[in-house]
Every structure is written in structure tokens, then in C-alpha cells.
């Protein structure tokens, strides 16, 4: 259920990196908030700082200026309230499917669960993600789609309030990706999570989100915040509607302008 309660707040955030070529201003004075129940997607040119913003929400890095807050408190470090899912590092290859799902439950923060409770959670997510028959399998024997489902199961099993996803479906074929979208929407609808997603697919962003942030070329600012008005639960047929396609085309256009701006900047630097 989406509400207006602000949960994660980026307040005038800037980020600068020291690089061999000098200081790189990645994010500049960016402010936005992720509200309770939001599914918010970040789209923008490659290298504009999307992962950097997500890393701040996850607690992996701190901004050089400004504040990133969770329920009014500075985000200082990662926590079990925020489940992070990356494109490539979602599963541990040395653990079986069920051990992967149980991994987070065995950490100190989840120690208050007894063995029966852990088993119940693992079974539930094996079932939900269609992996029950593969519980003893190792990730390398799974297809790409199954590995992504496993990564999702692992992220969800610790019951994070927030799910932070960085290009989680980028490596999947179109059909598996589409199936993953519906699975994600089903689980989110049932469990009511708050989600931040980074994607290069505007279509994916519009289909999944209630809000899309278009990030500008570096130094990055928010070019626009687009509200996606389609009610949940959503069905794939939405993607065939003129309303969906109008919105998709508008956002795509906006992103492409920022890609062009970033490319022009890079060219200028090459000439200089
Ligand atoms: N620790 C770091 N040290 C130096 N530079 C960094 C560091 N982390 C990121 N950068 C630089 O900051 C910029 C933004 O990186 P980031 O990964 O956040 O972009 P992105 O929008 O997620 O890119 P992509 O869409 O290609 O994944 C890049 O130019 C990157 O090289």
C-alpha cells in the first residue's frame, strides 16, 4: 500500500570521487524521497550515479555532502531492513539453493528464529519461486532465470522492509524477464514492500513502478519525477495500451536526451 509517509530521504545529496584523472562530481544537490510502499525506479545515462545513490540507501557509502535518512535517522551502515539485490552477485555459488535462501536467516540479526521457523520460511520461498525440486542443487546447475528467482528468494527471506535492486533482470532473456516482472509484482502485492530499482529498461520501469526518476547526465540531478498512474495489481496487457506507450515514449525521450548530453560532455573532454 503506497502512502505519503517518507521513509528514505535524500536531502541535498552530493557525491564526489577522487579518481586518477582528478575529482569526479557524480551527484549534485539531489533531493528526493522514497515513501512507504513506493516502487520507485531510477533511469538515466550510464555512469550518472544510479548505483552510487543505491549504495547510499543501502549504507555502503556516505555522500560527500547532504544527508541520506531512513525514518529521520542518518543511514550509517547496511541493515537487515534493507535487502539488496545486484545483477550478478545475488547468490553464493558454494551454497545449495536452500542454503542460499537460509543464509540471511542464520546471521546474527535473525538469530531469534528457531530451526522450525527457518525451515518454514525457506520452504515458503522455495515454493513461491518454483524452486522446491531444486532445493539441493547448486546455482551453477540452474538457468539464469532460476538464479534470479533464487536471488529474489534470498533477498525476501529475511523480510526486509526495503528491497533495493540494481539491474536485477539485465542478463535475462525477454520472456524470463517478463515472467520475473509478474512474479515480483505478485510478491510485492502480497507482502507490501518498498522498492528502489535501477534499470536501463524504461518499459520495465513504467510497468513496475508508481514513480520513475529520470536522472540527468553528470553531475547528476533529477531531470524529472514521473508519476505512473496505473493501479496495482498490474497485468501484462497494460503494456499494449496507448496510455502505457505514451508514457514509455515520453520517459524514453527524456532519458535519450540525457544520454546525448553525457556523450557530448565525454566528447568535449576527449577533445580538450
Ligand atoms: N568508488 C569509486 N571511486 C571512483 N569513482 C567511482 C566510484 N564509484 C563510482 N565511481 C564513478 O562514478 C560514476 C557513477 O557510477 P555509478 O556506478 O553510480 O553509475 P550508474 O549510473 O549506476 O552507471 P551504470 O548505469 O553504467 O551502471 C562513474 O563514472 C563511476 O566510474
Residue 238 Cα to ligand 1 midpoint, Å, equals: 33
Tell me the torsion sign for CA atoms 250, 251, 255, 258.
positive
The pTM of this model reads: 0.90
Q: Which of 175, 241, 230 lies closest to 205, judged by CA?
A: 230
Counting every residue, how long is the chain? 272
Predicted confidence (pLDDT) per residue in 175-194, tens digit? 888 888 988 888 887 778 89
Name the residue ranges covered by the structural domains of the chain: 6-81+160-271
84, burial (CB in 10 Å: exposed 0-12, middle 13-18, buried 19+):
buried
Strands (E), the chain: 6-19, 22-35, 39-43, 65-70, 73-74, 82-86, 162-166, 194-198, 211-215, 222-227
Ligand 1: residue of 14, 49, 222 to mutate (most ligand atoms within 8 A of CB) is 49
- The structural architecture, per CATH, of the domain 6-81+160-271 is 3-Layer(aba) Sandwich (3.40)
Ligand 1 atom nearest to 19, measured from its CA: 4
Specify which residues 213 forms β-bridges with. 42, 225
Walk along the chain (272 residues) and give the pLDDT tens digit of each residue: 778 899 999 999 999 999 888 899 999 999 999 999 999 999 999 989 999 999 999 999 999 999 999 999 999 999 889 999 877 667 899 999 999 999 888 876 666 788 898 899 999 889 888 899 999 999 999 988 888 889 988 888 888 899 999 998 887 788 888 888 988 888 887 778 899 999 999 999 999 999 999 999 989 999 999 999 999 989 999 999 999 999 999 999 999 999 998 888 878 777 66
Residues 44 and 200 sit within 8 Å (Cβ to Cβ): no
Instruction: Indicate the SS3 state at residue 261.
Output: helix
Going edge to edge, which strands form the sheet with 6-19?
A: 22-35, 6-19, 65-70, 73-74
Report ipTM (2 d.p.): 0.97
Spatial contact of 90 and 142, defined as CB atoms under 8 Å apart: no
CB 24 within 8 A of CB 17: yes
Locate the ligand 1 atom nearest the alpha carbon of residue 215 and give its number.
Answer: 21
DSSP string, 85-101: EESS-SS-TTS-HHHHH
Distance 27 CA to ligand 1 centre (A): 10
Give the separation between CA 214 and CA 216, rounded to whole angstroms.
Answer: 7
How far apart are the CA of 28 and the centre of ligand 1, in A? 14
Number of CB atoms found within 10 A of residue 98's CB: 21
Q: Which DSSP symbol is given to 169?
A: T
Pocket around ligand 1 at a 6 A CB cut-off: 17, 19, 24, 26, 46-52
Amino acid at each position: 500500500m503506497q502512502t505519503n509517509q517518507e521513509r528514505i530521504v535524500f536531502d541535498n545529496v552530493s557525491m564526489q570521487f577522487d579518481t586518477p584523472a582528478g575529482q569526479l562530481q557524480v551527484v549534485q544537490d539531489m533531493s528526493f524521497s522514497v515513501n512507504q510502499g513506493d516502487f520507485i525506479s531510477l533511469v538515466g545515462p550510464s555512469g550518472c550515479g544510479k548505483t552510487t545513490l543505491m549504495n547510499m540507501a543501502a549504507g555502503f557509502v556516505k555522500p560527500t555532502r547532504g544527508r541520506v535518512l531512513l525514518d529521520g535517522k542518518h543511514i550509517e551502515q547496511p541493515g537487515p531492513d534493507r535487502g539488496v539485490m545486484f545483477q550478478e552477485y545475488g547468490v553464493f555459488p558454494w551454497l545449495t539453493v536452500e542454503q542460499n535462501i537460509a543464509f540471511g536467516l542464520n546471521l546474527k540479526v535473525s538469530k531469534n528464529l528457531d530451526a522450525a521457523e527457518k525451515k518454514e520460511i525457506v520452504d515458503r520461498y522455495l515454493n513461491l519461486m518454483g524452486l522446491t525440486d531444486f532445493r539441493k542443487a547448486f546455482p551453477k546447475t540452474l538457468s539464469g532465470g532460476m538464479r534470479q528467482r533464487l536471488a529474489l528468494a534470498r533477498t525476501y527471506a529475511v523480510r526486509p522492509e526495503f528491497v533495493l535492486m540494481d539491474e536485477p533482470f539485465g542478463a535475462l532473456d525477454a520472456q524470463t524477464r517478463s515472467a520475473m516482472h509478474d512474479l515480483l509484482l505478485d510478491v510485492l502485492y502480497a507482502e507490501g514492500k518498498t522498492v528502489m530499482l535501477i534499470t536501463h529498461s524504461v518499459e520495465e520501469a513504467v510497468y513496475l513502478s508508481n514513480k520513475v526518476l529520470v536522472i540527468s547526465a553528470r553531475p547528476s540531478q533529477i531531470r524529472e519525477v514521473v508519476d505512473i498512474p496505473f493501479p496495482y495489481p498490474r497485468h501484462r496487457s497494460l503494456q499494449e495500451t496507448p496510455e502505457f506507450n505514451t508514457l514509455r515514449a515520453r520517459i524514453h525521450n527524456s532519458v535519450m536526451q540525457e544520454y546525448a548530453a553525457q556523450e557530448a560532455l565525454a566528447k568535449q573532454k576527449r577533445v580538450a
